[in-house]
Amino acid sequence: MRPVIVRTVLFQALALAVFAVSAEAQQPAAATGCQTCHASQQSATLATPARDFAVTDVHRERGFSCVDCHGGDPAASDKAAAKAPSTGFRGKPTGALIIAVCSRCHSDAALMRKYAPKQRVDQAAEYATSVHGQQLAKGDTKVATCVSCHGAHGVRPVGDAQSPVYPLNVAATCTKCHADPERMKGYQRAGAPLPTDQREKYEKSVHHKAMVDRNDLSAPTCNDCHGNHGAAPPGVDAIANVCGTCHTVFATKFALSTHSLIFDRGCVECHNNHDIAQPSDAMLGTGKEALCGTCHSEGDNGFKAAAAMRSGIDTLKASIRLSQEQIDGVENAGMDMADQALTLREAGNHLTRARTEMHAFDPKLVDAVVSEGMGLTAKVDAAAAAARNEVSYRRTGLAISLAFIVLVVVALQLKIRSLERSTSGSRL
Amino acid sequence: MTQQLLSWLDERLDLSALQHFVSEKSVPVHRHSVWYYMGGITLFLVGVQVFTGILLLLYYRPSAGEAYESVKFIVSQVEFGWLIRNVHSWSANLLIFMAFVHLFSTLFLRSYRKPRELTWVTGVLLLFVMMGFGFSGYLLPWNELAFFATKVGTGIAGAVPGIGHFLLRFLRGGDDVTGATLTRFYGIHVAVLPATMTAILGLHLLFIQRQGMSVPPSVERREKAGEKIPQIPFVPHYVLHDVMWWYVALAVLAALALFLPWELGKKADAFAAVPPGIRPEWYFLAMFQVLKLLPAHIVGLEGEMLGVLGFSLAALVLLVLPFLDRGAGEGRSSPLVTVAGVAALVYMVVFTIYGYLAA
């Protein structure tokens, strides 16, 4: 066992032995001597932690106090007595001690059940597998520990919108370090310097748009692909699995394709990783924007397959648009086309399915779905034609009725005049 | 053949009195005669409503779960169902429009003056009944706009001092607009109001036939001065004129039904967000707009309550107008009534347009 790891394990054991858990009450902890004294210090380094802890801190709200992490004797009125070695005073934990201090409670299932029964208790174990954890074990103290992401004092629950690990804030929290070239200097991945433009790219992505513009908190941010406590870049062989966590059907189709055997970076080959753009039909086919041409050239089977799949999807898309125009036209004339609108929506689902099927890169599968969709648009078109005939029939009927009514009105008018002429004598 | 039938009936029922009435009945002819036909058109539209309403009843299902679907079925599946529903909806609106035209023409020509006070009273009551038809019928298709407009409308009824809460619960069949409200409105629309209307309409027509057509005061003065006012026989001259106007109304209805079909909209959903542009039918819009503009409190009282009180008072004044304007019966001019009538007309037109633009 390497000396650094031995040191870390011993440190954790020591921390666990020293800090016996004492906080049982779930009432917010009252201000202790530590807070009173620290809050009145001139030095911001000494005063700010006490003040932050006093304002909002999930631990203080559950009844924990300074001594639970730092040790010491809060009842002592003298600074030397309060921080005497006999009190177990440890000062400010750093590096591996931070993991030990936090995991003392957060890895204790029996204890956590009393405060947050649904919360996992394997954060420390996960952290040990992360790049951060592994670097820390090597003695690299620049890497992130619990407090780097969650904060030390003024810790908020993950669901609190002001928490640095709330979904909307995760990218900013991670890139506090990962977008800092100075801090990331010296770190490498696959022999190349670690990039620092991930956030810049992520903010151009469809995932960021979904999260920020549509406030969809289920949209992925850094930790959804990299993991949070066990943060690490997904391996090449895991990319499809990671994307497939959400894009299940696409991943299943892709797994069936020959590309799954060839693509070194899985989904990333076409969609990129941090700057994932809104996919479009233009990405498929043989046009200038199409990605297929990157590897395939005119005449090869892949080129033909790309052209066939794109053509099928375009045909169905155009057919749906035309059918919609027909529905709109007859609806404007007062016909009820609600059932046909539903059928057309179903055709739209087929278009989505065709776009999904293409991830298997087999034109036959796409063609089958496109044909079903075309069958639906044909039904809609037939109904729209029948509705147009009905409108025409109604208008003809109305024209005949109106002509008849006008005739009757004219006849009545003539009759009235004739009566008035014949009785004009009696009116005078 | 007709002669034989009449003789057959005469033998049994002695129709001579009726024949005498019909042959003797005449209608005065003057430059305001055209307004006489407004009542006839309104009556024709009532007939259209009864006829199309009965046909709609054959398919309509008055429950929250089925009302919308049944109307949809009528307009899309039932042969000529679209025509019947569109004509019913358009005719309802034309009917109220014509009733207002009839009311204002009667008001400006002072036809309510003695001895026709009761004809006026029954006419105003008929207008209220027709507005009740409109209010209750609006909800029956159970679509989104009607649902929320009924919520607002019944909410306004809740502002009536003293009986507001009772009235609101009575109309809604509970604290909120639900399927119970629909059933209640259906009962009111197809049973209570038709029975009421039949009785009042019968009296209204009886009074008209008994008293004959009123002539405007200016014509009456000429008549009193010895001038002979031309007359036309009721049958067939006047009846033929009436029928001609009815045909014109029918043509307008048919054209509206075909070229401006009445939208069904989305099915009502009590849990959906209130859609924008919620407003009542146009004939309540002027009142609705005023209630919207009133401040929450006026001299310590609720603004909406004061507004409802004001409109109730205006309705009462309208109902008893002939008894307030006694001078008209004695040949004295009443400019105040003309000014009030013009003001009411201008208010209705301006605030209805404002209501549409503001929504």
Q: How confident is the model over A325-334, as pLDDT tens digits?
A: 999 988 887 7
The larger pLDDT score, comparing residue A39 to residue B69, is at: B69
What's the pLDDT band for A31 if we cut at 50, 70, 90? low
State whether B240 and A415 contact (CB < 8 Å).
yes
Place of tokens 């086919």: A285
Q: Does residue A150 fall inside a structural domain?
A: yes
Per-residue pLDDT for A5 more than 90?
A: no
Q: Does residue A11 fall inside a structural domain?
A: yes
The confidence score (pLDDT) of residue B151 equals 92
Partner-chain residue, chosen from A402, A408, A427, that has the shortest CB–CB distance to B232: A427
Segment B292-317, tens digit of pLDDT: 899 888 888 888 889 999 999 999 99
What is d(CA A237, CA A244) in angstroms, rounded to the nearest whole number? 12
Report in angstroms the alpha-carbon separations of A216 from A204, A212, A328: 16, 7, 32
Helix axes B193-211, B117-139, angle to 10 degrees: 150
- Best mean pLDDT range from A73-82, A209-218, A326-335: A209-218
The confidence score (pLDDT) of residue A237 equals 65
Q: Does residue A262 fall inside a structural domain?
A: no
| For range B67-89, the mean pLDDT | 92
The larger pLDDT score, comparing residue A18 to residue A75, is at: A75
What's the pLDDT band for B91 if we cut at 50, 70, 90? very high
The confidence score (pLDDT) of residue A19 equals 40
The confidence score (pLDDT) of residue A10 equals 44
| Cβ proximity of A306 and A287 under 8 Å | no
Segment B216-233, tens digit of pLDDT: 998 988 888 888 988 888
The confidence score (pLDDT) of residue A25 equals 42
State whether A402 and B29 contact (CB < 8 Å).
no
Q: Which of A391, A405, A407 to mutate to test the interface with B (most CBs of B within 10 A)?
A: A405
Per-residue pLDDT for A73 more than 90?
A: no
A336 touches chain B (CB under 8 A): yes
Partner-chain residue, chosen from A409, A419, A427, that has the shortest CB–CB distance to B244: A409
Per-chain mean pLDDT for chain B? 92
State whether A409 and B248 contact (CB < 8 Å).
yes
Task: Write the DSSP symbol of residue B234.
Answer: I
Percent of chain A with pLDDT over 90: 51
Nearest-CA distance A394 → chain B (Å): 8
Give residue A367's Cα distance to chain centre: 31
Q: Can you tell me whether residue B28 is helix, strand or coil?
A: strand
Taking CA–CA distances from A399, the nearest residue in chain B reads B255
Cis upstream peptide for A74 (omega within 30°): no
State whether B247 and A423 contact (CB < 8 Å).
no
State whether A416 and B29 contact (CB < 8 Å).
no
Per-residue pLDDT for A96 more than 50?
A: yes
What is d(CA A238, CA B173) in angstroms, rounded to the nearest whole number? 61
The confidence score (pLDDT) of residue A322 equals 97
As given in the structure block, the two tokens for residue B63 are: 């429950």
| Cβ proximity of A131 and A231 under 8 Å | yes
Residues B355, B356, B358, B359, CA torsion sign: positive
The confidence score (pLDDT) of residue B136 equals 96
pTM above 0.80, yes or no: no
The confidence score (pLDDT) of residue B101 equals 97
The confidence score (pLDDT) of residue A424 equals 65
The confidence score (pLDDT) of residue A419 equals 85
What is d(CA B101, CA B245) in angstroms, rounded to the nearest whole number? 15
Strand partners, A409: none
Partner-chain residue, chosen from B231, B232, B244, that has the shortest CB–CB distance to A412: B244
Q: Does residue A246 fall inside a structural domain?
A: no
CATH architecture, domain defined by B32-276: Up-down Bundle (1.20)
- Of A205-209, B188-192, B332-336, the least confident: B332-336
The confidence score (pLDDT) of residue B22 equals 85
The larger pLDDT score, comparing residue A421 to residue A318, is at: A318
State whether A338 and B76 contact (CB < 8 Å).
yes
* Contacts B254 to A, Cβ<8 Å: 398, 401-402, 405
Q: Which helix (H) or strand (E) holds A189?
A: strand A188-189
B331 touches chain A (CB under 8 A): no
Give yes or no: residues A201 and A326 share one domain. Answer: no
Strand partners, B263: none
* Contacts B251 to A, Cβ<8 Å: 402, 405-406, 409
| For range B163-178, the mean pLDDT | 93
| For range A192-200, the mean pLDDT | 91
The confidence score (pLDDT) of residue A427 equals 45
State whether B258 and A394 contact (CB < 8 Å).
yes
Domain count, chain A: 2
State whether A420 and B232 contact (CB < 8 Å).
yes
The confidence score (pLDDT) of residue A235 equals 66
| Cβ proximity of B355 and B273 under 8 Å | no
The confidence score (pLDDT) of residue A16 equals 41
The confidence score (pLDDT) of residue A11 equals 43
Segment B20-64, tens digit of pLDDT: 888 888 899 998 999 999 999 999 999 999 999 999 999 999 999
What's the pLDDT band for A190 if we cut at 50, 70, 90? confident
What is d(CA A398, CA A404) in angstroms, rounded to the nearest whole number? 10
Give yes or no: residues A14 and A100 share one domain. Answer: yes
Size of the A and B interface in Cβ pairs below 8 Å? 60
A418 touches chain B (CB under 8 A): no
Q: Where are the beta strands (DSSP E) in B209-349?
A: 231-233, 297-298, 301-302
Query: Which one of A190, A205, A234 terminates a domain?
Result: A234
Per-residue pLDDT for A340 more than 90?
A: yes
Dihedral of the alpha carbons of A199, A200, A204, A206, in degrees to the nearest 10? -10
Give yes or no: residues A197 and A85 share one domain. Answer: yes
The confidence score (pLDDT) of residue A29 equals 65
As given in the structure block, the two tokens for residue B32 are: 């305001």
Segment B249-298, tens digit of pLDDT: 999 998 898 888 888 888 999 888 888 878 889 999 999 999 989 988 88
What is d(CA B311, CA B267) in angstroms, rounded to the nearest whole number? 32
Per-residue pLDDT for A3 more than 60?
A: no
What's the pLDDT band for A412 if we cut at 50, 70, 90? very high
* Contacts A394 to B, Cβ<8 Å: 82-83, 258
Partner-chain residue, chosen from B76, B230, B258, that has the shortest CB–CB distance to A336: B76
Segment A399-410, tens digit of pLDDT: 899 899 999 999
| For range A257-261, the mean pLDDT | 88
Per-residue pLDDT for A18 more than 50?
A: no
State whether B231 and A427 contact (CB < 8 Å).
yes
| For range A50-69, the mean pLDDT | 88
Partner-chain residue, chosen from B228, B247, B258, that has the shortest CB–CB distance to A398: B258
Structural domain span for residue A362: 301-419
Place of tokens 């929250």: B64
Give yes or no: residues A331 and A223 share one domain. Answer: no
